[in-house]
Amino acid sequence: DGGITQSPKYLFRKEGQNVTLSCEQNLNHDAMYWYRQDPGQGLRLIYYSQIVNDFQKGDIAEGYSVSREKKESFPLTVTSAQKNPTAFYLCASSPPGASNQPQHFGDGTRLSIL
């Protein structure tokens, strides 16, 4: 089935450690997005990418990094510079011509600090 796969579902990070969250899609979508959700809050945009080898910062990019080497993949690295990384992370994608197109979401990764 076509969809967006995020892994792992749960991730624990030690202080000072970088961790990478995986997001893969087989929908042939051009645009991909990373959002962060804190308890009781809506989603906030971290980074987005409209095409391969190009990405832009969203509203809360500090302490995060991304790459877009393949159309199918948009991994997110939570660096040690992110002081409050505990959150639920959601990846999304949208069809070609990203504007005016619905976004579809993966099932998310819950990140916690040990």
Partner 1 sequence: GIQVEQSPPDLILQEGANSTLRCNFSDSVNNLQWFHQNPWGQLINLFYIPSGTKQNGRLSATTVATERYSLLYISSSQTTDSGVYFCAVERGTSYGKLTFGQGTILTVHP
Q: In the complex, what is the shortest distance from the CB of residue 45 to partner 1, in angstroms, rounded to a whole number?
A: 6
Nearer to partner 1, 19 or 31 (CB): 31
Whole-number Å distance between alpha carbons of 62 and 104 = 24
DSSP string over 17-53:
--EEEEEEE-S--SEEEEEEE-TT--EEEEEEEEETT
Q: In the complex, what is the shortest distance from the CB of residue 25 to partner 1, in angstroms, rounded to a whole number?
A: 14
Nearer to partner 1, 16 or 29 (CB): 29
Q: In the complex, what is the shortest distance from the CB of residue 42 to partner 1, in angstroms, rounded to a whole number?
A: 3
Nearer to partner 1, 73 or 101 (CB): 101
Sequence-separated (6 or more) residues with CB below 8 Å from residue 39:
none
Please count the other Cβ atoms lying within 10 Å of the Cβ belonging to residue 47: 22
Binding site for partner 1 (CB under 8 A): 31, 33, 35, 40-45, 48, 50, 58-59, 88, 90, 94, 98-105, 107-108, 110
